[in-house]
Amino acid sequence: MVILRPFVDKQTILNFAKRYPELDVASIETCLAFLHTTADVYQALDVHFARYGLSRGKFTLLMQLYLTDEKGLTPSECAQRADVTKATITGLLDGLERDGLVRRLPDVTDRRMLRLQLTDKGRDLLSQMLPDHFCRTTDLMGNLTDSEKKTLIKLLNKVRTGTSAMLDP
């Protein structure tokens, strides 16, 4: 996934505001700051996961399997949990299976279905990387106080409720 960085400066926003009276300068500036930060975080995560031969998607799938019981998950369950298509999961699984990190097994009760499980190699990789991952995540948020972190979560949840404005016809 390519993340394009917003390129608009304050003067450009002010010029647009002259042409489009419905434009709220503070909203545009806030959205652009959020998008800049999102792009930076995604780029940092991509570099971090690449150290371990993973992508964000592969890491997400490995963590789903790591946190489930020994029965594993179906590809459909993984797709639903990650809110992606089954085709996306299949592509991720192909790479993870090729790398020996997951295995597909027939379901014990319904042989038409597959179950996904971490291999020992997959579990070892996560055991090796998670301490580093958690430390880096802590450092990422290290400039915020505990109170600011709680406030940020509340604010981001508010932003998320506004996404329908972009989705509605």
As a whole number of Å, the end-to-end CA separation of the chain is 25
Q: What is the pTM of this model?
A: 0.85
Which contiguous run of DSSP H or E holds residue 104? strand 102-106
Contact present, 126 and 133 (Cβ < 8 Å)? no
Q: Is 155 helix (H, G, I), strand (E, B) or coil?
A: helix
Q: What pLDDT is recorded for position 71?
A: 85
Every domain of the chain and the residues it spans? 20-160
Q: Which mean pLDDT values do the consecutive 10-residue runs of the chain (169 residues) have?
A: 66 91 92 90 96 96 93 92 92 96 90 91 97 98 98 96 90
Q: How far apart are CA 128 and CA 62, in angstroms?
A: 13
Q: What pLDDT is recorded for position 2?
A: 55
Contact present, 86 and 75 (Cβ < 8 Å)? yes
Nearest alpha-carbon partner for 26 in 37, 38, 14: 14
CATH class given for the domain over 20-160: mainly alpha
Nearest alpha-carbon partner for 75 in 83, 86, 67: 86
| Residue 12 backbone dihedrals phi, psi, to 5 degrees | -65, -40
Q: What pLDDT is recorded for position 6?
A: 62
Q: How far apart are CA 57 and CA 84, in angstroms?
A: 10
